[in-house]
Copies of this chain bind each other. A is one copy, B any other.
Amino acid sequence: MKALNKNLTTLEEFKEKNYGKRGTKKRDELEAGYENFKIGILLHDARLEKGLTQEELAFKAGTTKSYISKIENNIKEVRISTLQKIVELGLGGHLQLSIKL
């Protein structure tokens, strides 16, 4: 019982359809391309710092918890604009990037 940690009225509705029926097996394959930055950990830490669950973050960023999970576990490569969207909309923060020569 009890709602989620925070103030989630709309989330409830959002959630009540996230359990159903099907599937299991191997693993996507993955690789996470090149030198696989630790983007997953970066996002994971930031999320915890804000005290959010994957589902809450997904809701705010307009995506799903399964997708967030994939990013945090480096199963999916992520586009810069996508990560930026998640950080801004979902965490209320902003992504900083620079090239060091």
A-B contacts besides A37-B95, A78-B80, A95-B98, 15 pairs, CB < 8 Å: A32-B81, A33-B79, A34-B81, A34-B82, A34-B84, A35-B81, A35-B84, A35-B85, A35-B88, A37-B81, A37-B84, A77-B80, A91-B101, A93-B101, A96-B100
Residue in contact with A87 in the complex, picked from B81, B87, B96, B99, CB distance below 8 Å: B99
Chain B residues within an 8 Å CB radius of A101 = 46, 49-50, 91-93
Cα-based distance from A84 to B97 in the complex (angstroms): 11
Cα-based distance from A34 to B81 in the complex (angstroms): 6
Q: Which A positions have Cβ atoms within 8 angstroms of B?
A: 32-37, 39, 42-43, 46, 49-50, 77-85, 87-88, 91-101
